[in-house]
Amino acid sequence: MKKITVSAPGKLMLFGEHAVVYGRPCIVTAVNQRMHATVELIDQPIFQLNAPDVQIKNYKKPMSDLGNGEIPKGAKFVEIAVGNFGVRKGGLSITTKSEFSSQFGFGSSSASTVCVIKALSELSGKKLSNRQIFDLSYKTILDVQGKGSGFDIAAAIYGGTLYFLTGGKVIKPLKITSLPIIVGYSGIKVDTITIVNEVLKKAGKYPKVIDRVYNNIERLVEQAKKSILNKDWQSVGELMNFNEGLLAVLGVEGKKLADMIYAARDAGAYGAKLSGAGMGDCMIALAPPSKVSSVKKAIEKAGGQVINIRANVEGVRIES
């Protein structure tokens, strides 16, 4: 086998953002907009990458130079992933294609990292386990970003809806068949690491206050896990509202997201909150079936874009 195409899902955080960076659990779900990577073994010892979604066209370098020199932002995760895997001979031609915009904050970098490592695992005959793919992918994220909890990597690999603890100390699938969330995109692109660092500064100044917020988020996550397993969507929505309040305390809500979140609640949602680092990207809501349409309209009226997705979907898989 010289060529393979692999796909992995994007993700949405349901509960626990920010606190997860500091050793608390979170709940994350895989979404049906997927990243695809076609990886081909070639004879010359050259690394080639085409990633049109992030404006990378015909990027090339010798395999011996992987990880060195100026690496374009859109190529970093794939290039470092290949270096971490350690291709013994020859070279690689890689093309990635996303079903979702990298603007949405669905975890495109993590999904592409997972795709490439899964593909190399198959092509090399090593057949790495999901845990081994997680460890290599997580190392790649830390090499590129310097920090990260790894929940988006876990969602891309395992799929479904996961209870997750920082660094993959716990990766526990929640056994549910569906997750009826409504997703709204704010139109604002944010840099996760910048926002994480801003919260870190606040924690330096008010350590006890921020630590208490994280502890309360942890309690919420534990409660939400039970409510999700019981399919008690009203309680899950109410817990979303609590979680949003705590994220507002951290200062990551942002006016546009807040407008969308409160519009969804006013239109009859059980609950709504931001999903991810905050200040932009996406918000999520849960609503009774009779209110779904009015909640979607309210999000759009508040300036958001409703994204039709399915949650709780399959993890990384071989396509061809």
Is 152 one of the catalytic residues? yes
Q: In the block, which residue shows the tokens 């979604």?
A: 53
Structure tokens at 124: 């090399």
| 200-220 burial: b if 16+ Cβ within 10 Å, else e | eebbeeeeeebeebbebbbeb
Contact (Cβ atoms closer than 8 angstroms) between residue 62 and residue 96: no
The angle that helices 207-229 and 192-205 make with each other, rounded to 10 degrees, is 130
Burial of residue 304 (number of CB atoms within 10 Å: 0-12, 13-18, 19+): buried
Torsion of CA 288, 269, 234, 289, to 10 degrees: 10
From the candidates 65, 135, 152, 232, which is the catalytic residue? 152
Q: Please, are residues 244 and 274 in contact by the beta-carbon 8 Å criterion?
A: yes
Residues forming the active site: 152
